Amino acid sequence: QSVLTQPPSVSGAPGQRVTISCTGSSSNIGAGYDVHWYQQLPGTAPKLLIYGNSNRPSGVPDRFSGSKSGTSASLAISGLQAEDEANYYCQSYDSSLTGSRVFGGGTKLTVL
């Protein structure tokens, strides 16, 4: 079991908007640590998508947005495109174990 909980899968048609949730606890997201999101296209290494809850690195389209509230965070993807089909992972820090970076279990996005 992952420390951060994500839905195993989400889907949407091209052009639609989907959201992926990431639920943590009082020792990670709820403790105030930032949440970050990564996109992993099939057969490739993960790529930073959102950092600091809602910031996009240079080159990431503004169709991708992130938010955080309480012990949860969300990734929203609007105007779905076929190339968005990938696995998405949230990541934070957990204070219950020194130095622990923690990932969610990942969410497979299928573009119908």
Partner 1 sequence: EVQLVESGGGLVQPGGSLRLSCAASGFTFSSYAMSWVRQAPGEGLEWVSTISGSGGGSYYVDSVKGRFTISRDNSKNTLFLQMNSLRAEDTAVYYCAKEVSGWQVSYYYYMDVWGKGTTVTVSS
97 binds partner 1 (CB under 8 A): yes
Does 60 engage in binding with partner 1 (CB under 8 A)?
Answer: no
Asked if 98 interacts with partner 1 (CB under 8 A), we say yes
- Does 64 bind partner 1 (CB under 8 A)? Our answer is no
Q: Does 51 bind partner 1 (CB under 8 A)?
A: yes
Determine the length of the chain: 112
- Residue 94: CB atoms within 10 A of its CB come to 19
Binding to partner 1, residues 66-95 (CB under 8 A)? 87, 89, 91, 93
Candidate list 39, 64, 104, 109; residue touching partner 1; CB under 8 A? 104
| Segment contacting partner 1 by CB under 8 A, of 10-18, 19-27, 31-39, 78-86 | 31-39
Q: Which stretch binds partner 1 (CB under 8 A): 12-20, 44-52, 59-67, 75-83?
A: 44-52
What residues contact residue 42 under an 8 Å CB cut-off, 6+ apart?
86
Q: Considering the complex, what minimum distance in angstroms separates the CB of residue 39 from partner 1? A: 11
